[in-house]
Amino acid sequence: MMLERLWSGLGWVVLVAGLSGCRSAYVVADVKNATDKPVSLVEVDYPSASFGVQTLAAGAEYHYRFKIIGTGTTQILWTDAAEKQHTVKGPELREGQQGPLGVTILSETAVWATALKP
């Protein structure tokens, strides 16, 4: 009898937690190569970590999800088809923010777009 109550109570806790919409805040990052040539060694740095892709074809996009831990500035680094290295600083991110973060690689620079919520 006591065990049945315990399991029943545990079931209610799980159900309420599931219905309350508990979820972790994360950022959906999209990196787009808007040039007419492939770029390589693409790296996006953000507070406490980074992600990247070896090669990004002309017009291609790379998608990545991450959680922000800490506060700091973003930056993107890449090498163009002429083997010239580029670095462009991006927005500051704060722990707990969530939403979309986009960066478009152009021939000589990169453009950041964000709609992150606190």
Mean pLDDT of 106-110: 97
For the chain, give the percent of residues with pLDDT over 90: 78
pTM: 0.80
DSSP string, 32-71: EE-SSS-EEEEEEEETTEEEEEEEE-TT-EEEEEE---SE
CATH number of 25-114: 2.60.40.2890
Check: CB of residue 45 under 8 Å from CB of residue 117.
no
From the centroid of its chain, how far is CA 25?
11
Nearest Cα to 101, choosing from 74, 72, 82?
74
Query: What's the chain's length in residues?
Result: 118
